[in-house]
Structure 1
Amino acid sequence: MAFGIASHQVFAAEITTSVDRNPVSIDESFKIFFTASDTPDGDPDFAPLEQDFSIINQGQSSSSSWVNGTYSKSIRWTVEVTANKPGNLVIPAIKFGNDASNPLPVVVTQGTATGDSANTNEEIFLEVKATPEQLYVQSQVLYTIRLYRRVDVAQAELSEPELADAVIEKLGEDSNYNTVVDGVSYLVTERKYAIFPQKSGTMTIKPLSLTAAIIVDRQPDFRDFFGSRMTKTKRVLSKEVTLNVKPAPSSFTGKDWLAAEKLELSQEWSGDIQQMKVGEPLTRTLTLRGEGTTVGQLPELNKVVTDANLKTYPDQPVLNEQKLPSGISASRQEKIALIPATSGKHVLPAIEIPWFNTKSQAVEIARIPETTINVIGAIDNQPETTKPPKLLATPAAPVTKAESNTQVPINNGVPQSSIWLWASLCLALGWMATVIYFLQRRPKNQIPDGKEINRLKRETSLKE
């Protein structure tokens, strides 16, 4: 039994819980997503949801992919619900056999506030909202568009928000849900944008324009067989939104202005910084994560100046940006290889990044404290040889690695130029000796004596 429990803990499927928006109104439906990275132990039991929520619809989908030789799988369950009461509710953990999802808090408000543009006498209308309308320069504004309709629409075209001197990013996909306004049921399509004003002052987001082809309610006739339907075109305008953008506060003294809802700075090492070795590289990874800011606003991290005995080799930064329903999330990661040249302790200065918290409206500092690394020695720990005495007349000749292991007597009385002279003389003498040797071994033409002459004459006479 113990083995079975341990095995389940190792191979349990990870199931995450998310919603399409938060907070929600009590008279609005919203979707809950349960996403698993692998097939869970069993089918989901959604009964615990019915304590605080009413289930309208549910479905399941799956997807798989190969990326760089790595296989990944995703299974998603979608449950559309409405809240039974307002307040701070919790989506409970849902069991999938022996696996379970994580609980998730959700805020349910009392009712829908449709704003000045709402008119329940209209069959279709637009609502726009900017949060916040009072902000600091380069801070994030969530611009939400809601299209309310109680008629069927064959086709619709909505203009994009426009604002000079601002960065505008669309956040995720549109969400659809049902709501009730003053006792009238509407189908709502919601779209979100993140806007970052780049200058201070009063800025106005122009009204959006919606052109919709509304299907006319009529009795079907023979033309429906060919897919022809009668429509009427209607144009709807939203209200304009005014932003009051303030400059960076005087209390901010950092070099680079950075406004965010959340900022975290962290570091990781590829090995033990207390057991480094001379000549061996160790990688330091610096990561800066921010919410409510773009990746272009995140500053450079590797500005630490080290001493000459600690070489640094930075890699190209890795930049990432996610467009979530709650806003922009960005990260910057920098990897630096450090190679110590000497043993001992090396101190890396603290890294500090001042930033402005748009939620608390206060200046904060993301900080990595001073880091001390310890280098214990070289890769090949060889004993040092005795240094030769210092020569006053001429500098000592460089000693090669082979010679460093042998004690060589030094004659201080012989100048270095005399050594080269004697070496040249020896080479010349050797060359001359070689020449004489080969000359002596060359065959010589000897003159024949009298006996040899008589022998040759007799041999000649016999041949004749």
Structure 2
Amino acid sequence: MVAGYVTKKAAMAWLFVASLLLAGPAMAAVSAHLDRQVIGEGESVNLTIDINGDDSGEPDTAGLEKDFEILSRNQSSSYSLINGSLHSNVNWQLVLRPRHAGSLHIPALKVGDAQTQPLMLEVKQLAVRKGAGGQPEGDIWLDMALQPEAVLVQQQTIITIRIYQSAALAQAQLTEPAAEHAIIERLGEDKQYQVTKNGRNWQVTERNYALFPQQSGPLAIAPVQLDGAIVVNQQAMGSPFFQTSRPIRVRSNKLALQVNPIPAAWHGVNWLPSTGVGLTEQWPSDASFKVGEPITRTITLQAQGLSMSQLPALPGLLPERLKAYPDQPALTDDKSDRGITGKRREKTAIIPTAPGTYILPAIELPWWNVNSGRMETAELPARTFKVTGALTAIAPIAAAPTALLQPAQSSAAAPVAQPVTTTPESWWKPVAIVALCGWLLTLLYLFVKRRPHAKDDAQTAPADQNLKAARKAVRAACSSGDAKGCEQALLSFVTMRWPDAGGSLTPLRRYGGDALARQITDLEQHLYASSASAWQGTDLLAAFEQSQIHTDDKQSAAGAKALPGLYPDQ
């Protein structure tokens, strides 16, 4: 009787547990809600999904991908015992960013066998700003300005980006401005300050860029984009699962730049649009110099609104009997929020080989004043200096015996004739030793110099082939009317002919004659100015073929390897 009662009681307990297990899925409830029903374009919204009674796995969010970008998803779980029953609660937090403005539908999301109710979200479209200075809605916004808004080709213009914020911003990332056919460089460090606009205080972060357009015509600068997170007061929201920040994405206005071609009034060789160009010189304070004594001359070219890559090499022609040994030029860019100032510093050792009075010719560099709209010339005046005798003079050999052979005043001075035979023995031996040593050193120098000839000839052969290939490419580009290909071929020729030219056509202008210099200028104006006509390379090819730059290609190629860094101009 007792055993039957116990068995019946155990069966009832198992039936109760089974009923709880079977009732669990039926008691599961799923709900969803948004933290905001109306947001601005570019802002994010939090979608919360609550699952009560049964953990049925992760929600199916495939229906959201059409209109939303899912930035993050987080899960939290909790369990509670109520009236002897175990209850579970699973909470999903999804951070969504709308892909476009309008009334967006959040469909019912499946969670196991259950699903959430559909929701609606209103995304307001922000007013599109066509220019700088306008203020859209929101706690974070960007403004991008351009000064000046119309420039000449290769002239500097300044892009200023300002981030306005009235809320705390974290994890901010700003994209760089971009434009086709332009070089853009960042200027200095960011600046921060506060302003008041429309009765509201804003914290401003300012960043500047220098832009150099490489082609004339209208130039579009795409908007920049800021991704970050707005810090939210967690306690004010009253939810332990609410995140402390809300992702945000904002875009700036776009810009339009008008790029004008090189003016017809320009007649220089190197196009230099600037607000100021100057030449300065450092010269020793000595009044005169000696033959064989090196004279260090340093010339600095400085141009406001131009980068160091735009500055040309300076003329290095010297009078006869002066040898020049230039160092590699020092190129620097000084950057500030007002733009770039490029500097080119050329240091040269000048060695006179004979005494006399020398005049270093004046250096003139034409440039275009973008403020006045006219052509000007930066000038370094001519310099005159004197060079005196040898660095170390050797007294004539006969000078000492002559002083000893003064006529005697009396017959008692006859014994003085003895030094006439002994004095020569005191100086001819050292002179003979010095002469013998010099002769031996000369033989050694000639022996060493002759040995590397075969190697030099072997190294010069590939250089000759490269020069021939470069000349062939120039001829082909000129014959086919390919202006860009001609420029590249000329640069290849310069690289082979003058390895230290730094990727510039300046050596061709300097050593190729006036006709070739004019044709190169015409080529660059065709490439970088607005020209609808087809380019004809006949005149450039004729000037290229008739120039004197092809007469000693072999010696040039060998010399460039034999004396790296030392290239006499004469």
Which TM class, normalised by the smaller chain length?
0.5 to 0.7
Matches within 5 A, 1:325-344: 325-344=337-356
> Quick check: 1:279 aligned with 2:292?
yes
CA distance in 1, matches of 2:217, 2:260: 6
Cα deviation code 1:387-409 (max 9, x no counterpart): xxxxxxxxxxxxxx959xxxxxx
The answer to whether the Cα contact below 8 Å between 2:131 and 2:253 also exists between their aligned partners in 1 is no
The question of whether the paired residues in 1 share the 8 Å contact of 2:195 and 2:204 is answered with yes
Q: 2:145 aligns with which of 129, 133, 157?
A: 129
2:374 maps to a residue whose letter is A
**CA offsets, 1:140-162, max 9 Å, x none?**
11000011111111222221111
Q: Secondary structure at the match of 1:308?
A: coil
Taking a change above 3 Å as real, the CA distance of residues 230 and 271 of structure 1, as seen in their structure-2 partners, is: same
- Give the direction of change, closer, same or farther, for the CA distance of 1:384–1:196 in structure 2 (3 Å limit): farther
Counterpart contact for 1:155–1:214, Cα < 8 Å: no
2:337 and 2:239 map into 1 onto residues whose CA distance is: 42
1:265, 1:368 within 8 Å by CA — same for their partners in 2? yes
Q: Secondary structure in 1 aligned to 2:269? A: coil
Q: Distance in 2 between matches of 1:131 and 1:238?
A: 16
Q: 1:154 aligns with which of 166, 170, 173?
A: 170
The separation in 2 between residues aligned to 1:149 and 1:221, in whole angstroms, is 22
Q: Tell me if structure 2 keeps the 8 A contact 1:252–1:363.
A: yes
- Selected match of 2:271 from 257, 282, 306: 257
Are residue 242 (structure 1) and residue 261 (structure 2) matched?
A: no
Distance 2:237 2:267 in 1: 73
Partners of 1:157 and 1:360 in 2: how far apart? 40
Aligned match of 1:380: 392
> 2:470 matched to which residue of 1?
none
Amino acid at match of 1:286: I
The amino acid that maps onto 1:307 is P
2:370 maps to amino acid: T
Are positions 1:203 and 2:192 aligned together?
no
Residue in 2 that maps onto 1:34: none
Question: Where does residue 235 of structure 2 map in the other structure?
Answer: 219
Separation (CA, whole Å) in 2 of partners of 1:243 and 1:220: 47
Q: By percentage of residues, which structure has more helix?
A: 2
Task: Give CA-to-partner distance per residue, 1:57-111, whole Å, 9 cap, x none.
Answer: xxxxxxxxxxxxxxxxxxxxxxxxxxxxxxxxxxxxxxxxxxxxxxxxxxxxxxx
Q: Which amino acid aligns with 1:124?
A: I
2:301 matched residue in structure 1: 288
The superposition leaves residues 342-401 of structure 1 with CA deviations (integer Å, 9 ceiling, x where unpaired) of 111111111111111222222111111111121122223456799xxxxxxxxxxxxxx9
CA displacement 1:115-138 (0-9 Å, x = unmatched): 656336422211110111110111
The answer for the alignment partner of 1:35 in structure 2 is none
Match of 2:326 among 314, 317, 327: 314
Number of equivalent positions = 273
Which residue of the other structure, out of 340, 343, 359, is the alignment partner of 1:347?
359
What TM-score, normalized to structure 2? 0.45
Contact kept in structure 2, 1:172 and 1:325, CA below 8 Å: yes
Identity rate of aligned residues, in percent? 40
Rounded to whole Å, the distance in 2 between the matches of 1:233 and 1:197 is: 35
The residue aligned with 1:176 is 192
How many Å apart are 1:222 and its aligned residue? Answer: 9.6
Describe the shift of the 1:307–1:116 C-alpha distance in structure 2 as closer, same or farther (beyond 3 A): closer
| Aligned counterparts of 1:201 and 1:121: Cα–Cα separation in 2 | 34
Cα distance in 2 for partners of 1:222, 1:122 equals 23
Amino acid paired to 2:223: P
Corresponding residue number in structure 2 for 1:450:
none
Aligned to 2:160: 144
Q: Which residue in 1 is equivalent to 2:281?
A: 267
The TM-score with structure 1 as length reference comes to 0.55
Pick the structure with more strand per residue: 1
Aligned equivalents of 2:327, 2:353: Cα separation in 1 = 20
Instruction: Tell me by how many angstroms 1:215 deviates.
Output: 2.1
Relative to 1, partners in 2 of residues 1:383 and 1:252: Cα closer, same or farther, differing over 3 Å?
farther
1:157 and 1:363 mapped to 2: Cα distance?
A: 43
Structure 2 unpaired stretches of 5+ = 1-129, 399-429, 433-570
1:87 counterpart residue number = none
**Is 1:300 aligned to 2:310, yes or no?**
no
Q: Which amino acid aligns with 1:267?
A: E
Q: 1:278 to 1:155 in 2, by over 3 A?
A: same
Residues in 2 aligned to 1:124 and 1:142: alpha-carbon distance in whole angstroms? 23
| Whole-angstrom CA distance in 2 between matches of 1:158 and 1:130 | 18
Report how far residue 184 of structure 1 moved: 1.0
Cα offsets for 1:382-441 (capped at 9, x unmatched): 56799xxxxxxxxxxxxxx959xxxxxxxxxxxxxxxxxxxxxxxxxxxxxxxxxxxxxx
**SS class of match (2:235):** coil
* 1:219 alignment partner, SS class: helix
Verify: 1:370 aligned to 2:382, yes or no.
Answer: yes
Q: Report if aligned partners of 1:118, 1:126 keep a CA contact under 8 Å in 2.
A: no
1:358 — aligned with what?
A: 370
Counterpart CA distance in 2 for 1:164 and 1:284 is: 41
Query: For residue 147 of structure 1, what is the amino acid of its counterpart?
Result: I
Moved over 4 A (4+): 114-117, 220-224, 382-386
Whole-angstrom distance in 2 between the partners of 1:182 and 1:383: 91
> What is the aligned-residue RMSD (CA, Å)?
2.7
Contact preservation (8 Å) 1:304, 1:348: no
Kindly indicate whether the alpha-carbon contact (under 8 Å) linking 1:354 and 1:363 is maintained by their aligned counterparts in 2: yes
Flag the 1:261–1:384 CA change in 2: closer, same or farther, 3 A.
farther
Q: 1 CA distance for matches of 2:167 and 2:302? A: 44
- Separation (CA, whole Å) in 1 of partners of 2:213 and 2:396: 64
Q: Is the 8 A contact 2:229 2:247 kept in 1?
A: yes
In 2, the alpha carbon distance for the partners of 1:384 and 1:356 equals 60
Counterparts of 2:347 and 2:293, CA distance in 1: 16
Deviation at 1:249, TM superposition (A): 1.1
Q: Secondary structure at the match of 2:318?
A: coil
Q: Is the 8 A contact 2:308 2:344 kept in 1?
A: yes
Give the Cα separation in 2 of the matches to 1:290 and 1:277.
Answer: 35
Q: SS in structure 2 opposite 1:285? A: strand
Q: What is the distance in 2 between the residues matched to 1:116 and 1:383?
A: 81
Which sections of structure 1, spanning at least 5 residues, go unmatched? 1-113, 387-400, 404-464
Give the corresponding residue for 1:185. 201
